[in-house]
A and B are shown apart, each in its own frame.
Chain A
Amino acid sequence: MLVPMSAAPVVDPTSAHGAFTLLWLVIALPALGAVVLLLGGRRLDKFGHLIGTAMAVLSFVVSLILFITLLGRDSADRSVSQHLWTWFSAGHYKVEISLLYDQLSALFLLLITGVGSLIHVYSIGYMEHDERRRRFFGYLNLFVAAMLTLVLAGDYVGVFLGWEGVGLASYLLIGFWQHKTSAAVAAKKAFIVNRVGDIGLSLGAGLMFVTFGSTAFTVVSANAPHASKAALTAIGLLLLLAACGKSAQFPLQSWLLDAMEGPTPVSALIHAATMVTAGVYLIVRSNFIFTNAPDARTGVVIIGCITLMWGAIIGCAKDDIKKTLAGSTMSQIGYMILASGLGVVGYAFAIFHLLTHGFFKANMFLGAGSVMHGMDDDVDMRHYGALRKAMPITFATFAMGYLAIIGFPGFSGFWSKDKIIETALTENWVVGLCALLGAGITGFYMTRLMLMTYFTNKRWEKDVHPHESPKVMTYPLIALAALSVLGGVLLAGNWIVDWLSPVVGVPHESSPPIPSLAISALAVLVVAVGVATAWLLVGAQEVPRVAPEKVSVFTRAARADLYGDAFNEEILMRPGDRLIRDLDTFDRTAVDGFVNGIATSLTAIANRLRLAQTGYVRTYALSMLGGAAIVVLALLVVNL
């Protein structure tokens, strides 16, 4: 199916001058914020959140200036590199800390700092009563700095630095309320599962060094077409493993739902809009590998298909509003991975969907946070209902996100998802049908969420008085809602495809098997079926306050995350546990026994030898005489 396509562009940046010399500031500002907030101590408690927000906003301003400058450049001249210093060198191997600013990283910069700034502002309100708010903002700044490092690095080792940095920030923020055991466990789980993926990135970078003698984008992209197919496929699959870990793709998806233990702004920023999309970035950035490795791309497409269905199915059965959204995130990233696996024709649409998803999913997560804020931090949708009147702004903004994600015509998600479905159908009809079906299920679970939260009957707990959130929280919602609606303009005049083509390559012309308009209509129809089903099953009935026990085997499986955790526990954790226990026993008995035995016998030998040290000169002289005999004998023996 996936035939080799036109050659991937070589990364060949010009060195930075003019406004581009400010590039390092984009990372340095939030990094400085993190350092100040985390080392500053209690005296910053009163206004620390303002410092953190200011750093994010300043970083956004710099990103915007850079973007506008980039727009002013000729399209062939939009790749800029800023060399900072040589990190380390060993023999011929050198790792430079240099930043690569091109069309792809420019979009990521705007997304990370833009959405990041909005979420910083929102968090001022959301975390108002938390006594560790300063630290929270320090971690958020740390995350932003690490994420920016990830997308700006010009070398896979630099990417790895950012990759680990966001992993650390994610760990710290999921476990931010570490007094809750569930949060601490979830943080640990996220960290460990991510580690499995990280191995993919480090091995991938290592293999690149072996294959190309360098890990810099410039060298790898220039030499990739000449490398052996096996090496490229292996590198591609290792990078895919990395992407699976960070982007919660099958089979490393299990951590994302638990990660919802973190504060909601974290879920919005890290586990919806930015960090979890790093896998997509990695694949699109490595287009020079994947374009030349069709087998690896097949793997990418398969993973994308499985995950988009997996996440959607889980989303259908969850009563926890954040976990439903997390399942949805998993599924939507599945779409992006799927698109990036399609190669040159898909890269741009993967990024397009990544951006629109960043808007509408951040919007909905923050909306969910706003709901929780009004509902005493209850996350169970079975305790919601009829909230549209109590929280009109939250409802209205959430609705914009909802319409965007299900792909209501005209909203941002419609454009981006439609393009992926169309391209998938063009390339391979099985994949296309999978994407289409996923869209229908999305329609179902999102409608179910909307109905259970904002419509249907009131099922509130006693003493809960839902109220609209303060302005510092609703304004970011409004901004994100506007982006959710209007994000589709990026496609106007095929802008995003043309914009990214110098980075990811120019797609060849091909027409879908049936007209595009028909595909769009079909997609809308499938979504409508999903929405209608949800209405029939949820909206038209009384929603029980307690989740019904007697449900089909499918619902039970979906509630149990399709047994992903059970699988991990049975197949990986328990045998691993046993292995470690056995090794420990072996270490204690056999190894320690051996070592202690040697020590004991050495001491015994030494105590014997010690007897020769009598303190008498005559004994010493005798031993010298004996020694002299040995020496002369040793000389004579070899001459016999």
Chain B
Amino acid sequence: MTPFKAPSVEYSLIAPVLIILGVAVVGVLVEAFVPRRLRYVVQTVLALGGTVAAIVETIIVFNRLNLGDTHPGSGRLAVMGALALDGPTIYLWLLILVIGLLAVLLFAERHLEGGLLSFAGQAAALPGTDAEREAATKGLEQTEVFPLMMFALAGMLMFPAANDLLTMFVALEVLSLPLYLLCGLSRRRRLLSQEAAMKYFILGAFSSAFFVYGIALVYGYSGSMGFAEISQAIGGRTGGHGLLLGGIGLMAVGLLFKIGAAPFHAWTPDVYQGAPTAVTAFMAAGTKVAAFGAMLRLFYVAFGGARWDWTPMIWVVAIMTLVVGSALALVQSDIKRLLAYSSIAHAGFLLVGFLGIRSLVDISAGEISAVPAILFYLTTYGLTIMAAFALVTLVRDAGGEVGHLARWSGLGKESPAVAGLMAFLLLAMAGIPLTSGFTGKWALFAAALAAGAWPMVIIAVIGSVVAAYIYLRVIVLMFFSEPVGDGPTVAMPSIMTSVVIAVGTAATLVLGVVPGPLLDLLGRIGEFIR
């Protein structure tokens, strides 16, 4: 019998994840032991402080690994090979943490709901009952949202770093479960919110089942959970190719569900619409970034040797996603649903870049390869969509947020600032030059072209033309239509939402005008450790 060997854990290297998890745990304790009136302040400070500390720690780790000044593909494995700490991981950590920080600010906004959080006062109270009315009149608040969000954030951090199948699955569940809950916590339109949470949970569980089944098949094929071993097995052409293909397919379903690719997108509009807008923003940006990071590592590192098998499948999915996202956004009448379909279309564009996979030896120096292009696009998209959803929270009437587009007509007259910022962000999503959306699309398409996926690029360009129409329609509505009689008012947010809007808009502008430094950095660090 071999003696038990304790696993070695590089605490200092995975400190960012540990800090966030620690904050989440402390947050739960705060709920139990801190008086109700102090909880908001304590939780906000804790979440903000923890996220900032994690960001600082990530930068320290970045420097310790010397990622900035070595050749691509450097980094190291941690926790017995369960986590891969390389350029993409650390960069995605940074991006996810920034998104998390902005999300905390949105979560903590109290100005818009008359001094209360925009989450249900008492989630357990059934909608329309006396208990709910009592919670409302008492001005109850539920500050558990902060620890829940921190748990989700920790899952998002682990997801793209996961270097074996089990860790990846655990990360997936850690990020998903709190989000299912958060979706159901809207203060307004609670039935819609709860319905969204239920749908998300059932479909999420369904997709997880596919994912786990896929893991089993891949394990059956390679005899290992580690990405490196799987890659080796594929390189060695072990028998049972059918197992591998089935495994790739089923795991892909789980991941494509998370990024909202068609035909696994159906939950997206319903959930984005029903969830509290702050949660929607966090999901739209954070989940997509984390899931795409995980998918990149799984497919590029573990399944990279079998890429001739899976690229046709991605072709099919990418085309379907582009068509569904762009076409259905045309006929939406709710701004949150429109942004949901827009995020589906963006997933399509990202999948186009995903097709830019090539052998490392084929990539010449200075060229934009798929990984940096996707990382860049995730950055631009994540920050833009955060700001867009933050703006959505400002357009309100007595019943809460006004999502219906018809009532947005003439918003440019009511509030030129909000309408102008929204127009700018929509132009960025359409990929108009001098915004980050243009640079991002350009990088993606360049990477795909270099890999020979030009038919896909043509389809994507046509898709972006259609998409431009979608966004311009909203802009026309805001600026060139007469205001409706009972138009919404624009609420003045506190500094917190303003910061989110400012950061998102500034990033959209800066990355559109001077994308060079970030692209250079990503070019240097944007390769996985193998």
Enumerate A578-628 residues with CB–CB distance to B below 8 Å.
599, 602-603, 605-607, 609-610, 612-613, 615, 617, 619-621, 623-624, 626-628
Q: Does B327 contact A (CB under 8 A)?
A: yes
Given contacts A628-B250, A632-B249, contact A613 B266 (CB under 8 A): yes
Closest partner residue, chain B, to A634 (CB atom): B313
Is B331 within 8 A of A606, CB to CB? Answer: yes
Q: Please give, as numbers and ranges, the residues of chain A lying within 8 Å of B469 by CB-CB distance.
A: 599
Contact with A along B259-271 (1 / 0, CB 8 A): 0001110110110
**Taking the nearest CB of chain B, how far is it from the CB of A614, in angstroms?**
9
State A515–B249 Cα separation when bound (angstroms).
100
Residue from the list B269, B270, B310, B316 in contact with A630, Cβ < 8 A: B316
Given contacts A624-B203, A624-B264, A628-B249, contact A634 B331 (CB under 8 A): no
Enumerate B226-251 residues with CB–CB distance to A below 8 Å.
241-242, 245-246, 248-250
Q: Please give, as numbers and ranges, the residues of chain A lying within 8 Å of B210 by CB-CB distance.
A: 628
State A605–B263 Cα separation when bound (angstroms).
16
Q: Does B454 contact A (CB under 8 A)?
A: no
Given contacts A620-B267, A628-B250, contact A609 B324 (CB under 8 A): yes
Q: Please give, as numbers and ranges, the residues of chain A lying within 8 Å of B309 by CB-CB distance.
A: 635, 638-639
Q: Does A631 contact B (CB under 8 A)?
A: yes
Contact with A along B133-147 (1 / 0, CB 8 A): 000000000000000
Enumerate B489-521 residues with CB–CB distance to A below 8 Å.
none
**Taking the nearest CB of chain A, how far is it from the CB of B211, in angstroms?**
11
Is A609 within 8 A of B327, CB to CB? Answer: yes
Given contacts A606-B328, A607-B331, A617-B203, contact A639 B245 (CB under 8 A): yes
Q: Please give, as numbers and ranges, the residues of chain A lying within 8 Å of B328 by CB-CB distance.
A: 606, 609-610, 613
Is B266 within 8 A of A632, CB to CB? Answer: no
Which of B241, B269, B317, B330 is packed against the most chain A CB atoms within 10 Å?
A: B330
Contact with B along A99-117 (1 / 0, CB 8 A): 0000000000000000000
Q: Please give, as numbers and ranges, the residues of chain A lying within 8 Å of B308 by CB-CB distance.
A: 638
Given contacts A639-B245, A639-B309, contact A631 B266 (CB under 8 A): no
Given contacts A609-B324, A617-B202, contact A627 B331 (CB under 8 A): no
Q: Does A636 contact B (CB under 8 A)?
A: yes
Q: Does A464 contact B (CB under 8 A)?
A: no
Residue from the list B257, B313, B331, B466 in contact with A635, Cβ < 8 A: B313
State A606–B467 Cα separation when bound (angstroms).
13
Is B466 within 8 A of A602, CB to CB? Answer: yes
State A395–B250 Cα separation when bound (angstroms).
101
Q: Please give, as numbers and ranges, the residues of chain A lying within 8 Å of B269 by CB-CB distance.
A: 613
Is A624 within 8 A of B207, CB to CB? Answer: yes
Q: Does A637 contact B (CB under 8 A)?
A: yes
Q: Does B452 contact A (CB under 8 A)?
A: no
State A634–B266 Cα separation when bound (angstroms).
21
Q: Does B253 contact A (CB under 8 A)?
A: yes
**Taking the nearest CB of chain A, how far is it from the CB of B445, in angstroms?**
21
Q: Please give, as numbers and ranges, the residues of chain B lying within 8 Å of A610 by CB-CB distance.
A: 328, 331
Q: Please give, as numbers and ranges, the residues of chain B lying within 8 Å of A639 by CB-CB distance.
A: 241, 245, 309
Which of A606, A612, A636, A637 is packed against the most chain B CB atoms within 10 Å?
A: A606
State A621–B202 Cα separation when bound (angstroms).
9
**Taking the nearest CB of chain A, how far is it from the CB of B184, in angstroms?**
14
Is B199 within 8 A of A632, CB to CB? Answer: no
Given contacts A609-B324, A624-B263, A635-B248, contact A603 B312 (CB under 8 A): no
Is A632 within 8 A of B250, CB to CB? Answer: yes
Is B206 within 8 A of A606, CB to CB? Answer: no
Given contacts A606-B327, A609-B328, A639-B309, contact A627 B245 (CB under 8 A): no
Residue from the list A609, A612, A617, A631 in contact with B313, Cβ < 8 A: A631
Which of A599, A607, A627, A632 is packed against the most chain B CB atoms within 10 Å?
A: A627
Contact with A along B283-319 (1 / 0, CB 8 A): 0000000000000000000000000111011001100
Closest partner residue, chain B, to A622 (CB atom): B266
Q: Please give, as numbers and ranges, the residues of chain A lying within 8 Å of B330 by CB-CB distance.
A: 602-603, 606
Q: Please give, as numbers and ranges, the residues of chain B lying within 8 Å of A631 by CB-CB distance.
A: 249, 252-253, 256, 313, 316-317
Residue from the list A607, A621, A630 in contact with B206, Cβ < 8 A: A621
State A603–B331 Cα separation when bound (angstroms).
7
Closest partner residue, chain A, to B316 (CB atom): A634
State A545–B346 Cα separation when bound (angstroms).
79
Is B312 within 8 A of A637, CB to CB? Answer: yes
State A619–B266 Cα separation when bound (angstroms).
9
Chief secondary structure at chain B's binding surface: helix
State A612–B265 Cα separation when bound (angstroms).
11
State A266–B249 Cα separation when bound (angstroms).
79
Interface size on B, residues (CB 8 A): 39
Is B253 within 8 A of A636, CB to CB? Answer: no
State A609–B248 Cα separation when bound (angstroms).
28
Enumerate A523-552 residues with CB–CB distance to B below 8 Å.
none
State A446–B64 Cα separation when bound (angstroms).
88
Q: Please give, as numbers and ranges, the residues of chain A lying within 8 Å of B312 by CB-CB distance.
A: 634-635, 637-638
State A617–B271 Cα separation when bound (angstroms).
12
Contact with A along B314-346 (1 / 0, CB 8 A): 001100000010011011000000000000000
State A620–B206 Cα separation when bound (angstroms).
11
Which of B312, B313, B324, B469 is packed against the most chain A CB atoms within 10 Å?
A: B313
**Taking the nearest CB of chain B, how far is it from the CB of A613, in angstroms?**
7
Closest partner residue, chain A, to B465 (CB atom): A598
Closest partner residue, chain A, to B310 (CB atom): A635
Is B331 within 8 A of A636, CB to CB? Answer: no
Contact with A along B462-499 (1 / 0, CB 8 A): 00001001000000000000000000000000000000
State A612–B253 Cα separation when bound (angstroms).
19
State A621–B253 Cα separation when bound (angstroms).
12
State A484–B198 Cα separation when bound (angstroms).
96
Is B206 within 8 A of A624, CB to CB? Answer: yes
Q: Please give, as numbers and ranges, the residues of chain A lying within 8 Å of B241 by CB-CB distance.
A: 639
Q: Please give, as numbers and ranges, the residues of chain B lying within 8 Å of A628 by CB-CB distance.
A: 210, 249-250, 253
Closest partner residue, chain B, to A621 (CB atom): B206
Q: Please give, as numbers and ranges, the residues of chain A lying within 8 Å of B242 by CB-CB distance.
A: 636
Is A624 within 8 A of B253, CB to CB? Answer: yes
State A599–B326 Cα separation when bound (angstroms).
12
Q: Please give, as numbers and ranges, the residues of chain A lying within 8 Å of B202 by CB-CB distance.
A: 617, 621
State A90–B253 Cα separation when bound (angstroms).
47
**Taking the nearest CB of chain A, how far is it from the CB of B309, in angstroms?**
6
Q: Please give, as numbers and ranges, the residues of chain A lying within 8 Å of B264 by CB-CB distance.
A: 623-624, 627
Closest partner residue, chain B, to A605 (CB atom): B327
Closest partner residue, chain A, to B251 (CB atom): A631
Q: Please give, as numbers and ranges, the residues of chain B lying within 8 Å of A612 by CB-CB distance.
A: 266
**Taking the nearest CB of chain B, how far is it from the CB of A624, in angstroms?**
5
State A603–B330 Cα separation when bound (angstroms).
7
State A471–B43 Cα separation when bound (angstroms).
86
Q: Please give, as numbers and ranges, the residues of chain A lying within 8 Å of B198 by CB-CB distance.
A: 617
Given contacts A606-B327, A617-B199, A617-B203, contact A624 B313 (CB under 8 A): no
Q: Please give, as numbers and ranges, the residues of chain B lying within 8 Å of A607 by CB-CB distance.
A: 331
Is B257 within 8 A of A624, CB to CB? Answer: yes
State A606–B333 Cα separation when bound (angstroms).
13
State A132–B248 Cα separation when bound (angstroms).
78
State A156–B248 Cα separation when bound (angstroms).
62
State A615–B206 Cα separation when bound (angstroms).
17
Listed A/B pairs (11) with beta-carbon separation below 8 Å: A606-B331, A612-B266, A613-B266, A623-B266, A624-B253, A627-B253, A628-B250, A630-B263, A631-B249, A632-B250, A634-B313
Closest 5 CB pairs of A and B: A627-B263, A620-B266, A634-B313, A632-B249, A606-B327
Contacts A627-B263, A628-B210 known; list 12 others, CB within 8 Å.
Answer: A602-B330, A603-B330, A606-B327, A609-B328, A610-B328, A621-B206, A624-B257, A624-B266, A627-B253, A631-B249, A638-B312, A639-B241
The interface of chain A, by Cβ under 8 A from chain B, is: 599, 602-603, 605-607, 609-610, 612-613, 615, 617, 619-621, 623-624, 626-628, 630-632, 634-639
The interface of chain B, by Cβ under 8 A from chain A, is: 198-199, 202-203, 206-207, 210, 241-242, 245-246, 248-250, 252-253, 256-257, 262-264, 266-267, 269-270, 308-310, 312-313, 316-317, 324, 327-328, 330-331, 466, 469
